[in-house]
Structures are given as structure tokens and as C-alpha cells.
Structure 1
Amino acid sequence: MFVTHSFQIPYDRNLYKELRTMQREAASVWNDIVREATSYYVACKKWVSKTEIQAIRKQTYNLHSQTVQAIADKYAANRETIRQLRKTDKKANYPWRRKYYYCIPLKKASMDISTDTITIKKVDYRFSLSELLTKKKKKNWNEKAPKQPTSVVIPNRSEEHLDACNYAEIVWRNGAYWFCYAVQVPEQDLSAYEKKVAGGDLGEIHAVTVATEDRALVLSGRAMRSISQFRAKALADLSKKMSRCKKGSRQWKKYKDARNRLRQTSKNQLEALEHKTTKDIVAFLEAEKVTHLVIGNVSGIEKGTKKNEQKKRKQNKVRRQQLSLWNQGKIKQKLTYKAKLKGIHVTETEE
């Protein structure tokens, strides 16, 4: 199976400036695709195909052609996902928001990977100053700018060989750029084991509960719940204080920075607890030689919980907030891929 690993790109002023420029160029590609695809749908009542999008975007931006194609692929995948979601949720919107920065997707042809460095290919269609000064003295001076291949080199800090890496992305996270790449990891073969099934239940108080025929493991989720509730209260207090300040003032900016720090800190704490919780569950399943895990599906439990006298719903605003802050989706995703690495088959069933 494919897993995603990442490493932080060390800070260098010129390198970060180049990556920032590439991010803005990638955002231009995304914005143009969204604008033209939406306009085409309004005029023709049908969506423009991915092949046509890629053909229109060819040789237009200061990015590698494979990078531009990857952005078009991400848009097409996003559009297909929304189309499926709108079958049950009409509030799901197609991409429309203008982006100022966008992640840099990289296919295998758009990067050269060595042991020490990773070279990101790009192109430049601009003229140099000397060419601009002598351009009108030549024939066909008004032709399109020539293609000039360039590159950006970043250090390779991965702990594994990336020869088989076919896709990667450069993203901005926690005040730094990260190189995220997908690699294939072999799954364990449990065909020699006798079939043994375990049941799993996700909860708010008890994050995960798993049980076999003779043993069970219950892990508390109170720490994650406490962090989520504290974050909600602190963000509400900061938003209230920001509303009393003039937007853009020094005090308003201080509150905004504090809000960003709080969000990032709580996110890191929750991710650490999710990792530890799912790791303990998978270790228990591996020790019990479990081959199949069945998890109850609790997706959408927070929907339709507003107080309604006709339907006699009794959930108040506190309970609704607790359900919306419940991170059961992330726990299920981490538990699923970690179990698959150990060769355990994971299935979902309605509770």
C-alpha cells in the first residue's frame, strides 16, 4: 500500500522565496481553471473535460508541464468528489474560492531525485533584459517568449530511497515548507494465521474500544475531548476581544497571532494523541493475532441534532458542540491504514 511521509525543508531565504513564487504561480493555475470551467458550465450546461483543461493550460505558466497537469488532475478529482457528495448533501459546493497560494504538486517527470538533493524542474517564459533591448531589431520580434528551463534544488532529508517515488507535494505547514512524498510499503501477509475477528467501537468518552472473543481493550478519549473544548472556549474569547478592536490595529494583530498559535498547538496535541491511541490499538490486535477488524460507522452522527419540539430532540448547544468537535473521522483513518500495514483487513458496518 501507499503511505505518505514528509520532511521539513531547511530554511534558506532564496530557496523559500523561490518556493513562495512557485506557490503563487500554482494558485494562478488553479484560479484560471476554476474560472474557465465554471464559465463553461454556465454557458454550455456541462463540465469541460480534464483533457481540454490540460490542453488550454499548456505552455502558459512558469511551472513544469507535469506540475500544471497535476493541478488539473486535483481539480478534476475535487469536482468528482463534490459530484458524489451532492447526491446526499446539496450544500456541498464545487470549487469557487480564489486562492493566493497553492501546494506545489510534483510528478516523477518534474523532479530529479538523488541521494543528497531533489531538483524541482520549472520553466521560465520571460525575456532577459538584454533580449528585451535587442528584440525589436530582430525578425518576428512579437513572437511568444522562448522556453527557458530552470530548476530549484532542495536538500534530500528523507530516511528512505525515493527512486520509486512517483508523486510528491510541497506544502506550507507550521511556518515552514515540507516535502511530502508517497512511497509504497509492503503489507504483512497473515494468510498463515487462522481467521480471527475483532470488533471496534469509536466513542467520545472512550476513543476506541476493541474486543475479541476473550479479551478487550478500552482507551480513554477524555484528553482529546478536553483539548477540543478548551480550544473552542479560548477561540471564542479571542474572537470576542478581536471584535472590540479596530481591524488591522496592533492589538488586533496580537489577538490574531495568539489565535493562530492556539490552533496550531491544539492541532499538534490532538494529532499526537490520535497517533498514540491508534498505535496501542494496532499493537493489541497484532498481539492477539487478529486478521479482521470490524468498525461501527458513526459518520454523520452530529447532523440533525438541533432542538426540535416536533421531533422531540433534546440535544442542547453544548452537546451539539461536543459532537461536532469529536474527531472520530481522523481516528478511523489512522486506525485503518495502520491496521492495513500489519495485514489486518478493516471493514465498516452500520451500528
Structure 2
Amino acid sequence: MAWSDKSHPHRLLLTKQFPLGLEMLSVFQPAMLAANRIWNSCVWHSREAFRQENRWPTEAELKAKFKSFAAWHELHSQSAQAVVEEYFEAVSSYSRHRENGHLEMNPPNFKPKNHLRTVTWKRQGFDVEDNTLVLKLSRKKEPIKVALPEGWNVVTLPDGIGMKGVPVEVKVKAVVRRRKVENLVLHVTFDLGVVPVYRTGAVSAYDYNSGLVARAALSGQLDLFVCRELLSLVQYRNKVLAEFQEKMSRLKEGSRRWRKLSRAKARKLRKLDRRIRQMEHALTKLFAELDEAEGVAFAVVGDLTNLRRSARTGMKGRKATQKINQMAYDRLHAEQRYKNLMRGVQTDPWTEKNTSSACCLCGTRNPAWRKHRGLWVCRKCGLILQADLNGAANLLKQYLFGSCTGRELPFAFGESRVWRWDKRSNKFEQVSPRAA
């Protein structure tokens, strides 16, 4: 599933997957190989332009260059343009990383000749005929017709209501394991329109941290989500990647042993990435379910823009900086945002200024009152609270009153709940604070 706010902040876009089976491989293989040839042509032309002119060609230059190529006329015009757009986005990302000092980054590389590249059909590149998708190719070629099951365009929301979506994008991806194509999967993105959100109601605030996420609600409920298992999994992934890179650095690039290690690295990282994403989805789903159960209308998330940049300026210690750079805060925010939107809850980013250095109860600011191990002790009112819970409560005050300092809390918080990952049920379960 995916969410987008390009056209409207409350527009909901969701993606459904439909396995096609290997019997459709012969139908889609020519189009996927043509897309791969366009990608390789982009790589070759860009490297030649950079070698001669010391610059990367623009997206418009690449599209104009390859319009007369035979591979371009194998696909629908927008599908061919989508390949160039993906390549240009990869080159732009590479250039930004190099400008930011990551000199170890490499530009997009060639793909093998038999690589089955994902083909994208935009809205003008396909038609819908009842339960059949008609995927257009070039003008001289017959379109590809894919029969889908009944109710393929109906998306069921968490409240049980089924919404009929309008397909806006179609992608065909190949599932490859150990260099063998195991399946083809059709990804259809539906536009469910602008989802109405509640304009009045309770407010909840979330304070993201590397190993903990704190939640404070207007009802006085405090929640602490222990994410140490997620953080340890991310750290283990980085350790595995470093071990593979160390072994591969001693070998000749492209040798038999180097290619074997490269394939083993890709398999191991894919497995770890699936476990990480599962844990992230379980966490953000719990956020949305708690907000829905408590009648929350606005979920406030701390604005962490330029967090990694500030962490590299020496403001924090080495270990804290490493943890900050390892968590995918923006991805968690995006997942929480679309899950909330499915339940009619609006998600707002808000500044975290002074939230970690002020007391949420009396409003007095003193950074020295935040002790080690995430403990907050107020020397004025005597409040003793977990530091992240104090930050989430201050974020809630800041959203409601405009500032978290110089103002007492107008309501009282109850006893906090603690949630932790349970390996047996593969979800976050409530535990006692002592166990956490």
C-alpha cells in the first residue's frame, strides 16, 4: 500500500497485488526486456556525456535521444518515458549523495541483458473493460489483456466499508529468486478520492526516538513503545552488510567468488529488510488502531527535518548519532500517515522545539533535568517521568497552546502503558512497565 499527498493532503492512494503466474511470462517478457534495453541505453549515454562534458544529461535530453530507438517502440510511449524517469531519479539521488560527502556511492549501473525490468503503465497507457485490464503497447502491437477476479477494484477499509477505487497506475514486476523467475505480480494503484477526516476531536502526539516511541493523548493516556528489537535488527543488518563488504573488498570485482558473495549478500539483506518492514508496519498499525479506538482526530508527529544533519555537527555522542542515522523516521511517518487516513484521522507534523528540555507538568525549562537512561526529574514540581513520555506530552502542549514552556498542564496524565514486540504473535503486546 502507498499514500500520496501531491494532489491533495487527504487523497488516498492504495496498491493491491495480483499474482499472474508463470504462464503470463511469455506475454510480458518482450516488454520487460525492452524496458531493460532502454535503461542500459540511458546508462551508456549518460556515462559518455559525463566523460566528455563533465555533466549528467537531463531527463528531457534522454527522452529525446531514445525516441527513435527500436526498444522505445516496443512499449507504450508513457511506459518508455517511465523508465527514463526512474533512471534520472537514480542519477539525481547519486549526485545528491556525492554532494553531501558520500564519495563511496556509485552511479546507476548496467543490468544483464536477460534482466526482466519492471514495466509501468500510467493512466493513459491502459483501459478497463469490466474485470479486464487492457495494457497498451506501441501502436503497431496488440495490447496485453489481463483478466482479474471479481471485486478486484474494491478496497476494504479497516471499518469494513468497501470503496471502489479508480486505477491510476499499473506495474508488472518479476519475482526472481536464485536467478530464476518464480512469478509475475501485477501491482495496481487505486485512487480512492479525498477521504473525509474528522475536524473536531481528541489529539495525540508521538515522539519518535531510536529505541523508543512515546505517545501522549488529550485524554491523559501515556503509551511507551519499546522498539529495541527493531533497532537491534537494523544494527544487525548493517553488521551483515559490513561483513559482506569486507570480504568482497579483498576479491577482484566480477570474479566468480565475488559474484557468489554478491548474490548471497542480496538474499540475506532482502530477508532482513522484510523482517524490518513487517515490524515497522505492525508498529504504525498499532498507532492508528489506538487513535481510532480513542476517538483521536489529529495525530501530531514531531517534525524531524534535518535531524541527521544536526546529529553530524557534534551535538550528540557517537553512539547516539549512529542510532539516529539508522532509524527510518520518514518511512515510519509515511506509513502512520496513510494508515491514519484510512481511519479518518489527520496527521500533522509539528516542531519539537524545547520539548525535551522542559517539564510537561509545570512548564519550567532546564536541559540539565534530563538525566541519563532517558529519565526526566523536575527540580521544581518534583515530576519523575520517562524522558520520551515527557517529550511527547510537551509536543501535545505545543500543538494545543503554541508553546510548551511557561504553562502548566491543564489536565493530569494517568499511568503509562508499555508495549513491546512479541516474537510469538509477531506484533506489539502490552506488558508491565517492570518487564519493559
| TM-score normalised over the length of structure 1 | 0.71
Q: Contact 2:136 / 2:143 at 8 angstroms: preserved in 1? A: yes
Residue 76 of structure 2, aligned match among 51, 60, 64: 64
The structure 2 residue matched to 1:25, chosen from 30, 34, 40, is 34
Determine if the alignment matches structure 1 residue 178 to structure 2 residue 185.
yes
- Quote the offset at 1:350 in angstroms: 2.3
Q: Percent identity?
A: 18
Give the secondary-structure state (helix, strand or coil) at the position aligned to 2:15. Answer: strand
Query: Which residue of the partner structure matches residue 137 of structure 2?
Result: 122
Rate the CA distance shift 1:179–1:255 in 2: closer, same or farther, 3 A: same
What's the CA shift for 1:295?
1.0
Q: Which amino acid aligns with 2:231?
A: R
Tell me, yes or no, if the aligned pair for 2:207 and 2:301 is still in contact at 8 Å.
yes
The answer (yes or no) to whether the contact 1:210–1:281 under 8 Å persists in 2 is no
| C-alpha spacing 1:155/1:329, structure 2 compared with 1 (3 Å) | same
Separation (CA, whole Å) in 1 of partners of 2:56 and 2:233 = 45
Q: Which residue does 2:108 correspond to in 1?
A: 97
The residue aligned with 2:381 is: none
In the TM superposition, residue 241 of structure 1 has moved relative to its aligned partner by 3.8
Q: Per-residue deviation at 1:332?
A: 0.7
Q: Distance in 1 between matches of 2:131 and 2:36?
A: 29
Match of 2:292 in 1: 286
Structure 1 residue corresponding to 2:142, chosen from 143, 150, 154: 150
Matches within 5 A, 1:120-269: 120-123=135-138, 148-156=140-148, 160-161=152-153, 164-172=166-174, 175=177, 176-185=183-192, 189-191=196-198, 194-207=200-213, 209-243=215-249, 252-269=258-275
Counterpart of 1:5 in structure 2 is: 15
Give the Cα–Cα distance (whole angstroms) in 2 for the partners of residues 110 and 152 of structure 1: 11
Contact 1:104 1:171 in 2 (8 A): yes
Q: Which residue of 2 aligns with 1:107?
A: 122
Contact 1:117 1:153 in 2 (8 A): yes
Aligned to 2:335: 334
Deviations along 1:259-309, one digit per CA (max 9) or x if unpaired, are 222211111111111111111111111122111122112243233545x8x
Q: CA deviation at 1:82?
A: 9.5
The one-letter amino acid of 1:343's match is: G
Shift of 1:174: 6.0
Q: What displacement does 1:314 show?
A: 3.4
* Aligned CA distance change for structure 1 residues 155 and 248 (closer, same or farther; 3 Å): farther
Residues 267 and 250 of structure 1, relative CA distance in 2, 3 Å threshold: same
The CA deviation string for residues 11-30 of structure 1, in whole angstroms up to 9 with x for no partner, is 426x3355344234224435
1:199 Cα shift?
A: 1.4
Compute the displacement of 1:197 (Å): 2.2
- Structure 2 letter corresponding to 1:169: K
CA distance in 2, matches of 1:228, 1:110: 39
Q: Which amino acid aligns with 1:221?
A: C
| Alpha carbons 1:22, 1:104 under 8 Å: kept | yes
User: Aligned-residue CA RMSD in angstroms?
Assistant: 4.3
Query: Secondary structure, in 3 states, of the residue corresponding to 1:150?
Result: coil
Cα distance, 1:229 vs. partner? Answer: 1.6
Matching residue of 2:318: 315
What count of residue pairs does the alignment treat as equivalent? 318
How far, CA to CA, are the matches of 1:298 and 1:184 in structure 2? Answer: 29
1:164–1:252 distance in 2 versus 1, CA, 3 Å: same
Query: Distance in 1 between the 2:269 and 2:188 partners?
Result: 25
Give me the whole-angstrom Cα distance separating, in 1, the residues matched to 2:296 and 2:150: 32
1:200/1:210 contact within 8 Å kept: yes
Partners in 1 of 2:59 and 2:271 — Cα distance?
A: 41
Render the CA deviation track for 1:224-278: whole Å, top value 9, x for unaligned.
Answer: 1121122222233333344456666665555333322221111111111111111
Q: Letter of the aligned partner of 1:3 in structure 2?
A: L
Task: State whether residues 170 and 180 of structure 1, in contact with CA within 8 Å, keep that contact through their aligned partners in structure 2.
Answer: yes
Equivalent position SS for 1:185: strand
Following TM superposition, by how much is the alpha carbon of 1:204 offset from its aligned partner in structure 2, in angstroms?
A: 1.3
SS at match of 1:166: strand
Quote the offset at 1:34 in angstroms. Answer: 7.2
Within 2, Cα distance between the matches of 1:232 and 1:77?
25
- Counterpart residue identity of residue 23, structure 1: M
Listed as ranges, the gaps of 5+ residues in structure 1 are 124-146
Are the aligned partners of 1:171 and 1:179 in contact in 2 as well (CA < 8 Å)? yes
Return the offset for 1:337: 1.2
In 2, Cα distance between equivalents of 1:166 and 1:59? 27
Q: What do the CA deviations read for 1:196-227 (whole angstroms, capped 9, x no partner)?
A: 32211111111353432411222221121121
Letter in 2 for 1:63: L
